[in-house]
């Protein structure tokens, strides 16, 4: 099933409400005039409130994408879709796509 592509205006959060943004936006493909994101580079997470050791493992720092588009690629890397899945480092919790552009779809 096709999903909407993630771009720089997409809202992506860790489960502890930290804001995630692509570390390297894809400047070649744009959706709604903004660069999209691909699976390769991780997302950088800021504002995660997960407590540091010894209470917990600490705040989410990076989000590594493990599921992305199957058919749509840019510069050899799969683009990220609204239903793509990522795991945060060091917590192992998922990233959640809350909002994205609603014009360009991929599969």
What CATH number does residue 53 fall under? 2.60.200
Containing domain of residue 51, as a range?
Answer: 3-106
**Rounded to two decimals, what is the model's pTM?**
0.93
Q: Please give the pLDDT value at position 19.
A: 98
User: Residue 1 has what pLDDT?
Assistant: 65
The pLDDT score that the predictor gives to residue 40 is: 93
Local confidence pLDDT in tens for the 107 residues of the chain? 689 999 999 999 999 999 999 999 999 999 999 999 999 999 999 999 999 989 899 999 999 999 999 999 999 999 999 999 999 999 999 999 999 999 999 99
Tokens representing residue 96 in the block: 């959640």
> Which is nearest to 14 in space by CA: 54, 61, 81?
61
| Alpha carbons 44 and 92: distance in angstroms, whole number | 14
- Quote the number of domains for the chain: 1
Place of tokens 């010894």: 54
**Pairwise CA distance, residues 5 & 31, whole Å:** 7
Helix (H, G, I), strand (E, B) or coil at 75: coil
């Amino acid at each position: 099933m096709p999903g909407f592509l993630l771009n720089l205006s997409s809202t992506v959060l860790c489960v502890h409400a930290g804001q995630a943004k692509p570390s390297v936006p894809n400047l070649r493909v744009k959706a709604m005039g903004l660069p999209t994101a691909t699976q390769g580079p991780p997302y950088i997470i800021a504002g995660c409130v997960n407590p540091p050791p010894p209470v917990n493992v600490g705040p989410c720092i990076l989000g590594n994408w493990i599921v992305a588009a199957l058919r749509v690629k840019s510069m050899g890397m799969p683009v990220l879709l609204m239903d793509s899945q990522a795991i945060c480092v060091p917590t192992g919790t998922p990233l959640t796509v809350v909002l994205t552009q609603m014009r360009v779809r991929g599969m």
